[in-house]
Amino acid sequence: MRHLPIGELAARTGVRASALRYWEERGLLPGARREGGRREWPATAVRRVALVKMAQRAGFTLAEITQLLADDTSPSATRQWRDMATRKLPELDRHIAQAQALRQAVADCLECGCMKFDQCVLLGTTDAAP
């Protein structure tokens, strides 16, 4: 099996080496083998890093991700994952709604075309205080 030095894993995944070391320490990544004092992970670690990044984008904390990636495949672990995912869905729905509202606001501004931000009627309809 091919192993990737920490620098190569960092480059392939877009995650800094310091984060990879931290994730290893937290148990998000399996322990790296040492070759000449340098950390090396199996090539399968690329997928593991992708899973961690995806879970972070979904709003899971590192502690939650550690639980999700635990090797425990028991029914209680499956139930725990379902419970966590069920609690996360409403939060994701709120983020999606906010992003859609922002997208619509940008589209409305483009349609207006006034480009006078200090006088734009569309921008004056927010609840924010000046």
Mean pLDDT per block of 10 residues along the chain (130 residues) reads 92 96 92 89 93 90 87 74 88 93 86 74 58
Note the pLDDT of residue 126.
52
Decide: residue 77, CB within 10 A, 0-12 exposed, 13-18 middle, 19+ buried.
Answer: middle
Tell me the chain's radius of gyration from C-alpha atoms.
Answer: 22
Note the pLDDT of residue 42.
92
3-state secondary structure of 126: coil
Note the pLDDT of residue 127.
53
List helix spans (H) across the chain: 6-13, 17-26, 45-57, 62-68, 75-112
